[in-house]
Structure 1
Amino acid sequence: MRIAFFTETYPPYINGVATQTKMLKDTYELLGHEVLVVTVGSEKQKEKILKDGVLYLPGIELKKIYNYRISMPVSPSHLEEVVYFDPDIIHAQNEFGVGLSGRKFAKKYNIPLVYTLHSEYDRFLFYVGLKDGNPLFEKISKKLSDQFLKKLPESADIITSPSYKAQAYLDRQKIDKKVYVIENTIDNSKFLPSPKKDQFRKDFREKYKLSDSTKALVFVGRIGKEKNIEELVESFIYANVDADKAKLFIIGKGPDLESITEMIKEKNLEDKIICLGPVDNTDIPLYLSAMDYYTTASLSEMHSISMLEGMASGLPALIKLDVPNESQIRKGLNGYTWEDKEDFKNLLDKVLNFSAEEEAKLKETTLAYIENNNNIKQAETLLALYEKAINKKNN
């Protein structure tokens, strides 16, 4: 099968969509399929570039949104390579310039369109200045954004998402279509034990004064409002554990990093809550190997890639309860959920008092869970939906 992805984000840009698209490309090619990725290149790029099955288009950088890059409506000449590729299926991963170009291309050449919804976009209007506290302004801006973001789901032959949240999102937009939920996966091999990781863990834990009995909790991700990091920090503070029992590490960058750092300093808790800042994506497996639990208070996720990477490193997840996603955490198997700071305190007290045998068993079942959640199964499920979309278009 010839598969064309249209996505605004792709490595070296780092986020969940970029990671998933790259992994799918590699997996499909491993399974014998042909793949072309259409994406945005550097903001300095003036002409399109085709390299290793990826068509990079000129774009612009949105500094306000984590330096996210988008492409303006793509001219037909930019997509000549896609015409030559002659895809059997178009898979749109984003809703903006590139994604809408995939929609237009699919319509023009009568190619089935599969669309994956990765975010509840009506929850993120503050990043593009569409929420200023004025109810009338917010109502108008939401209406305009909804009209824009409806285009892809209304046109798609098949809609997928890594979370059941997507169906609720479409229902809010009054789009009467079914969402096929296919959970995100990762390349587990990057997180396997190694002598390099063992040495990193030893050095890291010596540097930050972590004994064998001290539990290191970690959050990895964007340091922004939607990740609810302030609540995570406040919950950890409320738990009031000694530094020799547990420490919280925060990895990432974003607009709220400075305020979170200042909050920790003001409370004189730098010895218990450590902001490590941004870490190169290739080094994330090393940092995770030094930790004991993954934790987050974010309710904005569809299916957190960072959480899955933590699990692949043997870290059970301590996650704030997100009811639409509650099936992603299986109590006592791959982690636990908490609802408020009192609940977090009780949960942290529980895990800190696990016996060595209980802790080892939880790590073992976490690794077993993630091994069963693999990229080959995800790819095969999607391929079946591609066939469904093709049959739907032909009949």
Structure 2
Amino acid sequence: MDKKKLKIAIFTDNFFPAVGGTENAVYNLATALTELGHEILVVAPNYKNADDSKYIFRVFRKSSIKIDANNNYALPFFNKKLYKVLDEFNADILHCHSQASMLSLAIKYGKKHKLPVVSTIHTKFSYCYKDSAKLNIIVKPMLKSIGRKLKQVDRVTAVSYSMADEFKLYGYNGQFDVIKNGLSINSFKPIEIENIAREKYKLKSTDNIFIFVGRITKVKNISFILDTLQKLKEKGIKFKMFIVGEGGDLPYFKSMAKEKNIEDMVEFTGKITDKHLLASLYYNSNLNIFPSIFDNDSLTIVEAAMYGTPSITLMNTGSSERITDGQNGYIVQNNANKMAEQIAEILKDKNRLKIVGENAKNELVKSWQDVTQEYLAIYYEILNQKKTI
């Protein structure tokens, strides 16, 4: 059977102008699908400063409520305008990238119109809820509600195998497919970027330079990074650590760096919107330090790899799944002493470190075009099973 071009409605509680991995994933998937000739409608929360004119796909903004400085969540009910937009779009399949109100809406609409629903999990919600819920007594019911929703969809996908244990907390024991996130591969040439960060931050090619890129929040385990850096300093190792990003816990970590007497060795850059500068920091760094337990499949590991910078992560985390220890990156125990010892050992052989970085570049970088083909295979499989195409 010839594969026709599809109409795909993508539901998400996380989209631009908010900042995060899910926002990027939805944008890149919608863009890649559109470039292949499929018709895409993204249903996303409304933001006051949202500008959807720059996208090559259509975006419908759902009435929403502000949760924090970065996130708006869609209100959990339909209105006539949303129904009209969806009815006129006449989707073949619904794909939800959120487990909050948008998944409920997708399931409800899918049942009414007999449309298949795919649900992709990007986040370990047990960490989110424990971090944000004031009463732990409500965390378990919130997680179980996700499980009940997942049991109602046609296919569940996740971005890491580490979600298996997370799903058990939801009460979901069904099968799921793992599709790793991709990357928009448009890297700059070294000659274009190598001196940008060096000049701005007065760096030398012989310096020990580390980087972390992400939201500045406690769930990212940034305190572990600072503990590790303190121990490196105690070993007499000089370095410069760049912590790139913004978030509500920034003052907390700045204070922690000062308490550990490493504030002169740690640069909190804030959010970097200059792509050349960020690429230059990646390129000039020896290691991307990413000890997050919360993240399923952080793109910063792939972004760093694109510029030949290997990552060091913790054992048994989603972020470590791409890495072969000592081959294209490093994996250590969840212990700051162990990580400091490993980094100290790594820095003794910069030639080997460069080889590991090149291996990361050759082995870890995966394009969104490849990822999109994996999702399309699932769409067509489900639709063929339902005999709707």
Per the normalisation by structure 2, the TM-score is 0.89
- The CA deviation at 1:264 is 1.5
Change beyond 3 A, Cα 1:393–1:281 = farther
Letter in 1 for 2:346: V
The 8 Å contact of residues 239 and 341 in structure 1, kept in 2 or not, is answered as: no
Match of 1:338 among 332, 336, 339: 332
The 8 Å contact of residues 205 and 290 in structure 1, kept in 2 or not, is answered as: no
Aligned-residue CA RMSD in angstroms?
2.4
Match of 1:175 among 158, 165, 172: 172
Q: Secondary structure of 2:243's partner?
A: strand
Letter in 2 for 1:68: N
Distance in 1 (CA, whole Å) between partners of 2:308 and 2:315 is 21
The 8 Å contact of residues 7 and 98 in structure 1, kept in 2 or not, is answered as: yes
- Asked if residue 143 in structure 1 is aligned to residue 136 in structure 2, the reply is no
Tell me, which stretches of 5 or more residues in structure 2 are unaligned?
Answer: 1-5
Tell me, which stretches of 5 or more residues in structure 1 are unaligned?
Answer: 132-137
| Aligned position for 2:15 | 10
| Aligned ranges 1:1-395 → 2 under 5 Å | 1-43=6-48, 52-63=57-68, 66-72=69-75, 73-131=77-135, 138=136, 140-189=137-186, 191-193=187-189, 195-206=191-202, 210-240=203-233, 245-280=238-273, 282=275, 284-323=278-317, 326-339=320-333, 340-356=335-351, 358-371=352-365, 373-394=366-387
- The CA deviation at 1:39 is 0.7
Deviates more, 1:324-333 or 1:34-43: 324-333
Distance in 2 (CA, whole Å) between partners of 1:153 and 1:146 is 11
The 8 Å contact of residues 74 and 98 in structure 1, kept in 2 or not, is answered as: no
The 8 Å contact of residues 6 and 93 in structure 1, kept in 2 or not, is answered as: yes
Change beyond 3 A, Cα 1:80–1:308 = same
- The CA deviation at 1:309 is 1.4
Distance in 2 (CA, whole Å) between partners of 1:335 and 1:127 is 29
Aligned residue pair count: 376
The 8 Å contact of residues 34 and 57 in structure 2, kept in 1 or not, is answered as: no
Distance in 2 (CA, whole Å) between partners of 1:154 and 1:181 is 17
Distance in 2 (CA, whole Å) between partners of 1:284 and 1:44 is 24
Q: Secondary structure of 1:240's partner?
A: helix
Letter in 2 for 1:284: L
Change beyond 3 A, Cα 1:343–1:128 = closer
Letter in 1 for 2:249: D
| Aligned position for 2:3 | none
Distance in 2 (CA, whole Å) between partners of 1:79 and 1:280 is 37
Change beyond 3 A, Cα 1:322–1:365 = same
Per the normalisation by structure 1, the TM-score is 0.88
- The CA deviation at 1:109 is 0.7
The 8 Å contact of residues 217 and 249 in structure 1, kept in 2 or not, is answered as: yes
Letter in 2 for 1:106: G
Distance in 2 (CA, whole Å) between partners of 1:185 and 1:234 is 31
Identity of aligned residues (%): 21
